[in-house]
Amino acid sequence: MVWKKSSYISLFILVIFLSACNGTATSEQIYNHLEKAVELENTFEEQQDPIVKLEQKEQEIYSQIIDLSMEKFDEMKKLSGQALDNIEARKEKINLEKESIEASKEEFSNVEGMIKDLEEDATKEKADDMYSVMMDRYDAYDKLHQVYTESLTLEEELYKMLQQEDLEQDKLSEHITKLNESYQKVIDANQAFNELTTEYNALKEEFYKAAEIDVEYEGNAPKEQEKSTEESNESGQEKDPDE
């Protein structure tokens, strides 16, 4: 009987030890998935500056076009063609963005099934909050991508209209109003995405502290979205058909 009792105690201690190790291993696995998700957003991050520069270039082209009279229609048509090329370049960039975000989401989703295996309730709660906000962030990006794509479509329609010599001013003004409204949607979606990015980064840091994971945060967080569309509209440089 003594031998059996001792064996039971040893087994009980072993179970506790393995359980504690499992909790630690789970938090480390979660950490690995979180940081891999960040790494997969590198392509997304790399597109930001080129997109902003392309947007600024498109604004310059538009300004040149509206300064031209119809007597210089050939020049207007040429510049519109350049703007259309610019739009195609941005389409390629935002598609790369989306692929990067989707890869990040797929990696991050691996965390969901691991959260329940965390030992500490406080750590589990932080992980749940972090997971929920990050998934909201992915949804916010989908919305941003949608409205930005819609604005590119409207820009494309604009520059095709500007290649028409018999274009009516009322029709142009109506379309530009619609385009400026789409820019506002981009601004709002961009802000929502950035706010969720900031919230997620804070929650991730709280989770790491709760899980006692010692990390350095330099270059270790999802990035906010940069869109010069926001800067342009806020500085009063939205498209104006009457300039």
Domains of the chain: 2-234 (1.20.120.570)
Checking if the pLDDT of 202 tops 80, the result is yes
Average pLDDT of the residues in 65-73? 88
Listed residue (177, 232, 234) closest to 63, CA to CA: 232
Checking if the pLDDT of 109 tops 50, the result is yes
Cα separation values, 179 from 42, 112, 149, Å = 30, 39, 12
Instruction: Tell me the HSE value of 196 on the side-chain side, using a 13 A CA sphere.
Output: 23
- Four-residue CA torsion sign, 57, 63, 66, 72: negative
- Name the pLDDT band for 214 (thresholds 50, 70, 90): confident
Radius of gyration in angstroms for the set of CA atoms belonging to the chain, rounded to a whole number: 26
- Name the pLDDT band for 231 (thresholds 50, 70, 90): very low
What does the pLDDT read at residue 217? 60
* 77 token code pair: 């048509």
* 121 token code pair: 């309730």
Beta strands in 154-208 (DSSP E): none
What does the pLDDT read at residue 111? 96
Whole-angstrom Cα distance, residue 164 to residue 76?
10
- The 10s digit of each residue's pLDDT in 77-91 is 999 999 999 999 999
The DSSP annotation for 199-224 comes to HHHHHHHHHHHHTT-----TT-SPPP
Residue 221 CA, chain-centre distance (Å), reads 12
Q: Where are the alpha helices (DSSP H) in 67-120?
A: 73-108
Give the residue carrying structure tokens 């949804």: 139
- The mean of the pLDDT values for the chain is 85
SS3 for 119?
Answer: coil
> Cβ–Cβ contacts within 10 Å for residue 137, how many?
25
- Name the pLDDT band for 215 (thresholds 50, 70, 90): confident
Average pLDDT of the residues in 200-206? 95
